[in-house]
Amino acid sequence: MQTAKPTIDPVRWHPPPVQALPEFGAAAVTLVPVPGGEPEDVVADADGNLWTGALDGGIVRLRPDGSSPEVIANTGGRPLGLTFARDGRLLVCDSPRGLLALDTTTGRIETLVDSIAGRPLIFCSNVTETADGAVYFTESTTAFTVGHYLGAILEARGRGALHRLDPDGSVTTVVDGLYFANGVTPTSDGSALVFAETQGRRLSKYWLTGPQAGNVTPLAVNLPAMPDNLSTGADGRIWCAMVTPANPLADRLAAGPPGVRKALWRLPSRLQPKPKAVVWVTAFDPDSGVAVAGMHTTDPRFSMVTGLVESGERLWMGSIGSAHLGWIPVPRHEVSS
C-alpha cells in the first residue's frame, strides 16, 4: 500500500560547483536479470557468489558468473547497501526497517538497529565492518524513507549521518550534518573510511587511525555527478557509482525560494523531474582523490548505477533503473595519480 507523501521543509542551499572528471570512455555492458528488479547494491562473498537486494525486498544470491539467481530471504522492506561481516552474515541496510543481519545459511534475519536516540532509523543506506568488529553505517536522512528520497533532495537539509555500532550494541553518531549520506567503504590499509554524500557531490574520509583519527577530511569534491554506493577495489582504488549527472536546474531550484520546491513536491510523480539515464562509474585514488579509471556510457536497458563491486575480472554494477545487474571488464588505471 502506498504511504502518504510527507511534507517537506526546504531551505535555500547553494550546491557545490561542478568540476569535470577525465573522460574514460564507454564499454559494452553485459546484463544479468535479477528476480524482484532494481538491484540497488551488489557484493561478493568469499566464494565469489554475488548478493544483491531487490525492489520487492528479496535478497538474491547469484553464482560468480551471474547465473542461477536464488531468493534467499525477504526483508519486508527495501534492501539497499550490503556488506559481509567477518562472521559470514550479510549486513543489510533496509528502508524503513533499519540495519539488519542475514544468516545466509538459514535465511534468518535479525534486526541490529532500528532506532537511534529514540527515533526510528528509516533510511539506513550503506554499511561496512572494520577489523575491530565495529559496524559503520550511513543514514541518508532522518525525515524520509527511500520511497520519498526526492523529498530529501528538495529540502536540501543536512539530515544525514555516519554512525558506529559497537560489539556491545551501543550506537554512536560519529559524523552528522551530511547532505544525503550514502556509500561507505574502508581504505585498503584500514586507516580510514571513505563515505559519499549524494547531494553534497563529494567523497570524504573519516579517519580511524593516526593523528587525524576521529576527523573528516575531503577526498574528492565538486563532483559532476551524484555519488552513490562505494567499494574498495583489489588494488585499493575507491570505486564510486555515479548515479546521475549533476542537474543545473535542480541546483538553481535549491538556491531559489523554498516555496517553488514545495509546489514541485506536490505535483504527481510523473510531472516531477527525473534523473538523467546514464551508466557511470569512477575509481578514485584513495590518497589523492584523483579519478584514475572509469566508464561512462548510455544503454537503453540499463542506467542509474547505484552499487558496484570488483569480483574476478569483472566490475559488477547494481541499478535502480533496471531489472538487471550489469558488468564490464574491470577498468584499469588510465591516468596517473
* Residue among 135, 145, 138, 153 at smallest CA distance from 95: 145
Strand partners, 310: 315
Q: What percent of the chain has pLDDT over 70?
A: 98
Residue 196 pLDDT level (bands cut at 50, 70, 90): very high
pLDDT band, very low/low/confident/very high, at 151 (cuts 50, 70, 90): very high
Say whether pLDDT at 238 is over 70. yes
3-class SS at 77?
Answer: coil
Backbone angles phi, psi at 297, to 5 degrees: -155, -175
- The pLDDT of residue 4: 80
> In whole numbers, what is the pLDDT of the chain averaged over residues?
96
DSSP 8-state symbol, 261: H
Q: Mean pLDDT over residues 88-115, rounded?
A: 98
Domain boundaries along the sequence of the chain:
30-329
CA distance 203 to 231: 12
| Separate counts of helices (H) and strands (E) for the chain | 3, 26
Per the CB < 8 A criterion, the answer to whether 83 and 91 are in contact is yes
pLDDT band at 337 (very low <50, low <70, confident <90, very high): very low
Q: Is 266 helix (H, G, I), strand (E, B) or coil?
A: helix
State the residue for C-alpha cell 552528522: 176
Q: What are phi and psi of 18, to 5 degrees?
A: -110, 125
pLDDT tens-digit map of 104-145: 999 999 999 999 999 999 999 999 999 999 999 999 999 999
Enter the DSSP assignment of 40.
-
Q: What integer pLDDT is reported at residue 272 of this predicted model? A: 87
Task: Tell me which amino acid residue 69 is.
Answer: P
Q: Is the confidence at residue 185, as pLDDT, over 90?
A: yes
pLDDT score at 1: 43
Would you call 147 helix, strand, or coil by DSSP?
A: helix
| Cβ(125)–Cβ(40) below 8 Å | no
Strand partners, 98: 94
In this prediction, residues 166-194 reach a mean pLDDT of 98
Residue 255 main-chain phi, psi, to 5 deg? -85, -5
The b-or-e profile of 226-244 (16+ CB within 10 A means b, else e) is bbbbbbbbeeebbbbbbbb
Give dist(CA 336, CA 178) in Å, integer.
31
The letter for the amino acid at 293 is A
User: What is the CATH architecture of 30-329?
Assistant: 6 Propeller (2.120)
